[in-house]
Structure 1
Amino acid sequence: MDFFREIKEQVQWDFRLENENKNRQPGYAFVIDVFEETPRLALYVIKKHLSKTQTLPDEQQPPRDMLLKALEEQNVNLKYDNIYNINQEISLWLKENIF
């Protein structure tokens, strides 16, 4: 958990994937990474010219139905592997459980 304390001030809580390249700011965000029909919360590392995801370990994952609800709000079909935005509920969960 020390890592999360270190990056707390650099987390972009209002980050949206569709706006990633508009006024790009290095830092961190959180996304939902869907792979093989399984949603997982991931840390999104934003650098000047690239971004990458790092899936959080099982003990740092929110409840599955919370992830599914956020994906449903975006009309996501789990058959398509991709990364998606988190919602306000997941953001709050992160602040209460990880930070």
Structure 2
Amino acid sequence: MWFDQKPKEQVIDIDAGDTSNELAVVEYIEDIYKFYKLNDSRSHQYMDSQPEINDRMRGILVDWLIDVHTKFDLSLETLYMTINIIDRFLAVKAVPRREL
């Protein structure tokens, strides 16, 4: 019936303002979203598998990364991706304390 159907919400293109910014790579945005929807890219609990480092040490590293991010006025995506890469690496490889 007509009253069971929800009206379609208008989707706002939040990337429209970045079309002239070549660093935003808006031409790949659809592919990126599809990839993230298909893959569970979140890191799972991994710190128990690290023999020499702990949550506090990871927190210190992330705090330092935030300081660097702020100092160089980088994009938020850069910070998020950096932390994601570090977490994914730490999830599969044991890292000695001196190399963290």
Instruction: Report TM bin, short chain.
Output: under 0.3
Q: Which of these two proteins has the greater Rg computed from alpha carbons?
A: 2
Q: Greater helix percent: which structure?
A: 2
Structure 2-normalised TM-score?
Answer: 0.27
Structure 1-normalised TM-score?
Answer: 0.28
